[in-house]
Structure 1
């Protein structure tokens, strides 16, 4: 019976995440069908456990319950607490998932782990490098396939008179911009993101970021652009801003290289979107 309740709990948890839309805070919804499939599989396993429990009869069930709570002296005396710990560890994520609010990543994560270009990071572990300014999906493709895709994106987005970085193109367009900055010079671009004050910035400069998800929250990185205002500003970290301007380049000393900068014409503060993450589109 306990196994049925645990399996039912997990199935209900994932169904709850889908119904509320919170599942998108954990995975790229391109793979949403996999979590739906998992709901049916876990649900089937739960029904199987319930049927099995009913068939075993009350006598065998009573025996198993005695063993769980240490009354069956045919087993080791410490069996009950081992099983109890196991069940607690399994049930804990169900309870936290259902009753605790879903937290989203913010500037505190950026500050704790830092952000950087992958090229200047000494750690070559692709699974450890999450907090990067420049999107880099080269590790997910063969070299020739990646270069072809990147060039196609560059041609697609650089031909636009006005490039709006939105939910549909945020990561792919940014990756093209950082790899072909010259093709986007003087391009009119709009972007929405949260404020982050990086190192060595002037008082009229800051970064606008969004956390991007390739597959799931485990590979999330922080991506965006440096923006430059016509005058000094005092926006606090995690303030969401929608801005528009002309793309240029500037030398950023912490990275020891030139990076794109958006020189703003217009901007205004906005509410944090319901879905704050950007997802890789294929």
Structure 2
């Protein structure tokens, strides 16, 4: 029997497998995000993306701009790509409609901008690591992975935690490594549509999780403007917090690995992402 998964597996590079895994886990990436994170040039990236599209491992679409023209190509996993990743991970094959459902989900548009923003944060870290030795995006978990029961339980934790874990809904969880220092963190990607007190109230879940696990990791609020960041900082100044909280804004396309993180209750001084390790426990 001709198995399509077996037929394409030998044609994949390690970089291909990384890309397919990202699309399977995180939904959608633009050609520019993929190029910056994984390839030395956009031309090289586009050639490889055409090859993977021809192998029916990925699919693409191109949203139109309201004022005319088009955005760059957006890539999602194809059914064969999803089955290939599931097989490589030793997981059950995805349902037959997995790729079609995911494709429709992102082309519908109302979730696309937020997901691309979250993925831009993490691919920005991966792009930095690609060109800077001694740095690494060591973990990138999706929102759905973070929601799984026991997602943050480690061997040796109390057995009760495998059945119960305080619920948090970060937009992603990551581990950034720089000069042998690793910083686990939760990402809250803010688009400016929620009231600021809603963002502050999210800290209750992280506090409960930290108490249950006995571990403390920073919560990063990545905000769309300096004014939004200042207003959130004003609220947090008067709010006792039991977990480390850092704010940053993406105006001017700053690098999330850089000195862009202001930490609550420490004078709001800016730190590099790796320096937030001092606030973990």
Q: Taking structure 1 as the reference length, what is the TM-score of the superposition? A: 0.24
Larger Rg: 1
Q: Taking structure 2 as the reference length, what is the TM-score of the superposition? A: 0.25
